[in-house]
């Protein structure tokens, strides 16, 4: 294997039980003909020895534990300049915080701040530390600053807790290094995509509205996956408690009518995915003031008339001019899932329907996992259960195939 031939990596090894995996990573990089220079933080040196790092990289490891002599010989600035990529594995909460805050008070953080090369971090920490608002905030800052991430994985951790925080496996970090240095062509580069996501809120009066339990997780994951596949991606989302996906142009709306307006403004796309749970009805009599118990509703609870909302999916599917090449709807069903979804595909005029079972016992609505069936004109496929992110990746792979003409 010579994938990394001529490529030089600066590896910063932070502290953590998983630091030993960094040694395997060095082996993989060198096996692929890459060269590695390593910095071992003071905490990292508690878990792997400078000697073992030096033996594997073939170059004297630099650590805060050594004197300033070696720093004079090859300073941190030169070390980062000489590298094609700076990799931090394990990236501790501390190293993430230092870089997010621009601190430079030891060799590793100084080198990171001085780096003019892409930085890839492989975080590893306790679950609670990963979920701490400070770490979440720092992650957001680092992503916005252009740092890439691999992992963390989910599973049982050395501390006995379960959840995300495990250092990605060396093979996975190696894959991320290859991707960073030799990016594969993106399958949807040059394509334009539109996604709807989340619920809509249909006002009754200034403080009350109709809504549903959609979290937006599936639609947001699809938008993120389309953008990651290189598509210029537009997301129109109802009110959700999710961050905007990176690299996606997002329009926030409240009602179905707002959603239709925003969709119409960007319907000239190659693929449109309607994952939003749009409210079917709204009241035509939205009150200007809060409806009072003793007011209009004196004779008991108010009677609320309902009218149908526009069906955005059906509207877009029936466009004669500028219809997206591929229109995909979602069918949230609680019984006879496939047959209902097949009928819905025809009725709405879309090309594909992604059908899922949203009976309360499945936990799909609002949950992180899902099980779907993909219904096309030709067939109905049942996909294995997975996270909404995994289903999004699979759907985007299928979209790429279809747009590439191999549906
Ligand atoms: O008819 P039903 O709501 O089950 O259809 C679901 C599909 O139609 C989803 O793709 C949803 O985003 C879309 N839809 C829409 N506008 C509506 C209702 C549903 O785009 N008013």
Q: Is 109 in the pocket of ligand 1 (CB under 6 A)?
A: no
CB 205 within 8 A of CB 181: no
Residue found by looking up tokens 């894959």 in the block: 175
**Given CA atoms 339, 341, 347, 351 in this order, what sign does their dihedral have?**
negative
Q: Residue with the nearest Cα to atom 13 of ligand 1?
A: 313
Closest atom of ligand 1 relative to the 332 alpha carbon? 4
How do strand 35-40 and strand 8-13 relate by DSSP bridges?
A: parallel
- In the reported structure, the alpha carbon of residue 369 is separated from the centroid of ligand 1 by a whole-number distance in angstroms of 21
Q: Supply the pLDDT for residue 159.
A: 67
How many angstroms is it from 310 CA to the middle of ligand 1?
A: 9
DSSP string, 28-85: HHHHTT-EEEEEE-TTGGGTS-HHHHHHHHSS--EETTS-HHHHHHS-HHHHHHH-SE
Q: Which atom of ligand 1 is nearest to the CA of 330?
A: 10
Domain at 192-290+297-403, CATH homologous superfamily? CoaB-like (3.40.50.10300)
Taking the CA of residue 196 as reference, the ligand 1 atom at the shortest distance is 12
Q: What does the pLDDT look like over 66-79, one tens digit per residue?
A: 555 555 555 677 77
Residue of 256, 312, 345 to mutate, ligand 1, most atoms within 8 A of C-beta: 312
Phi, psi of 166, deg, nearest 5: -75, 135
pLDDT of the residue at 55: 93
Say yes or no: do domains 8-181 and 192-290+297-403 share a fold.
yes
Q: What is the pTM of this model?
A: 0.68
Domain 8-181 has CATH 3.30.310.50: no
Residue 106: strand, helix, or coil? coil
Tell me the C-alpha to C-alpha distance, in Å, between residue 307 and each of 31, 32, 92, 208, 231.
66, 64, 54, 17, 36
Q: What are phi and psi of 372, to 5 degrees?
A: -130, 165
User: What pLDDT is attached to residue 192?
Assistant: 97
Residue 341 CB less than 6 A away from ligand 1:
no
pLDDT value of residue 231: 96
* Cβ of 278 less than 6 Å from ligand 1: yes
Q: Is 221 close to ligand 1, i.e. is its CB under 6 Å away?
A: no
Closest ligand 1 atom to residue 333 Cα is 4
Residue ranges covered by each domain of the chain: 8-181, 192-290+297-403
Q: Ligand 1: does its nearest atom lie under 6 Å from the Cβ of 330?
A: yes
Query: If you measure from the C-alpha of residue 212 to the centroid of ligand 1, how many angstroms do you get, rounded to a whole number?
Result: 13
How far apart CA 273 and CA 388 sit, in angstroms, is 14
- C-alpha 238 – ligand 1 centre gap (Å): 13
Among protein residues, the one whose CA lies closest to atom 4 of ligand 1: 331
- Does 256 sit in the ligand 1 pocket, CB within 6 Å? yes
What is the reported pLDDT for 189? 93
Whether residue 352 has its Cβ less than 6 Å from ligand 1: no
Query: Residue 68: what pLDDT?
Result: 53
Regarding the beta carbon of 276 and ligand 1, being less than 6 Å apart is answered yes
| Centre of ligand 1 from the C-alpha of residue 268, in Å | 19
Query: Which residue in the list 134, 159, 182, 297 is annotated as catalytic?
Result: 159
Q: Specify the ligand 1 atom closest to the Cα of 316.
A: 20
**What string of pLDDT tens digits covers the 407 residues of the chain?**
788 999 999 999 999 999 999 999 999 999 999 999 999 999 999 999 999 999 999 998 988 645 555 555 556 777 778 899 999 999 999 999 999 999 988 899 999 999 999 999 999 999 999 999 999 999 999 998 999 999 898 777 666 777 778 899 999 999 999 999 987 789 999 999 999 999 999 999 999 999 998 999 999 999 999 999 999 999 999 999 998 988 899 999 999 999 999 999 987 999 999 999 999 999 999 999 999 887 655 678 888 999 999 999 999 999 999 999 999 999 988 889 999 999 999 999 999 999 998 877 777 777 788 899 999 999 999 999 999 999 999 999 999 999 985 44
pLDDT at 406: 43
Residue 183's contacts (CB-CB under 8 Å, 6 or more residues apart) are none
Q: Which residue has the tokens 């997301």?
A: 235
β partners of residue 250 = 235
Active site residue 350: no
pLDDT for residue 71: 54
């Amino acid at each position: 294997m010579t994938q990394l031939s001529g490529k030089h990596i600066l590896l910063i090894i932070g502290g953590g039980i998983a630091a030993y995996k960094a040694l395997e990573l060095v082996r993989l990089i060198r096996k692929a003909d890459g060269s590695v220079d390593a910095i071992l933080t003071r905490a990292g040196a508690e878990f792997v020895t400078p000697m073992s790092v030096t033996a594997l990289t073939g170059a004297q490891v630099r650590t805060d534990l050594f004197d300033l002599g070696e720093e004079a010989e090859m300073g941190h600035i030169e070390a980062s300049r000489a590298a094609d990529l700076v990799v931090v594995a394990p990236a501790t909460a501390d190293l993430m915080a230092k870089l997010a805050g621009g601190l430079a008070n030891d060799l590793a953080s100084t080198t990171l701040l001085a780096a003019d090369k892409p930085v890839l971090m492989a975080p590893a920490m306790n679950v609670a530390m990963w979920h701490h608002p400070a770490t979440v905030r720092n992650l957001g800052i680092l992503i916005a600053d252009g740092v890439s991430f691999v992992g963390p994985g989910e599973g049982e951790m050395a501390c006995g807790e379960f959840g995300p925080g495990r250092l990605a496996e060396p093979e996975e970090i190696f894959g991320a290094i290859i991707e960073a240095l030799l990016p594969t062509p993106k399958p949807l580069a040059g394509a334009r995509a539109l996604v709807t996501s989340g619920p809509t809120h249909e006002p009754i009066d200034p403080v009350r509205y109709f809504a549903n339990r959609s979290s937006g997780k599936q639609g947001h994951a699809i938008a993120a996956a389309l953008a990651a596949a290189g598509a210029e991606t537009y997301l129109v989302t109802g009110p959700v408690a999710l961050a905007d996906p990176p690299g996606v142009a997002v329009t926030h709306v409240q009602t179905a009518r707002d959603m239709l307006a925003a969709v119409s403004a960007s319907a000239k796309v190659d693929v449109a995915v309607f994952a939003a749970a749009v409210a079917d009805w709204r009241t035509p009599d939205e009150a200007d003031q809060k409806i009072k118990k003793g007011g209009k509703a004196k004779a008991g609870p108010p009677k609320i008339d309902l009218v149908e909302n526009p069906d955005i999916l059906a509207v877009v599917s029936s466009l004669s001019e500028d219809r997206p090449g591929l229109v995909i709807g979602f069918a949230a069903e609680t019984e006879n899932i496939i047959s209902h979804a097949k009928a819905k595909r025809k009725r709405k005029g879309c090309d594909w329907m992604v059908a899922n079972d949203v009976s309360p016992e499945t936990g799909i609505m609002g949950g992180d996992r899902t099980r779907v069936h993909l219904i096309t004109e030709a067939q109905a496929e049942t996909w294995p259960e997975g996270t909404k992110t995994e289903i999004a990746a699979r759907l985007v792979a299928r979209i790429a195939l279809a747009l590439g003409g191999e549906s």
